[in-house]
Amino acid sequence: MRTSPNRLIATVFGAVYVLVGLLGFAVTGSVGFIATEGGLLLGIFEVNPLHNIAHLLIGAALLIAGLSNVMAAKATNTTIGAVYLLLGIVGFFIASTSLNILALNTADHFLHLASAIVLLGVGLTADKTVRSTTSV
């Protein structure tokens, strides 16, 4: 099994997002599932149960991809990075509206944008010589 920047980033980010998803439930006991305001994780990031589940699912996808192969990790990093880029931008516009079903706040937006930069950066630039294992 070949190590690569994509596999490393997917595995590390996956583990962190799973941990964050689990820790989020400790601060959302009295928060509605899709409440527009949530509990504070680490005293700064607002989360609700739906946000926690999203972190768990994203973390699991990254972990599975990172532990499988380079192509899966590259595709997953790029896809999740693109989604986080969109969420980071859109989050600024929906934060104080009823559309904010993930209880996003400013700290979340900047963290999502930072995650997007790393995931997209690695996904789009690293492991350029990766080829499919099928023969032509």
pTM of the model: 0.89
pLDDT tens-digit profile of 87-128?
999 999 999 999 999 999 999 999 999 999 999 999 999 988
- pLDDT, one tens digit per residue, over 28-81 is 999 999 999 999 999 999 999 999 999 999 999 999 999 999 999 999 999 999
DSSP of 70-128, one letter per residue?
Answer: HHHHHHHHHHHHHHHHHHHHHHHHHTTSTT-TT---HHHHHHHHHHHHHHHHHHHHS-T
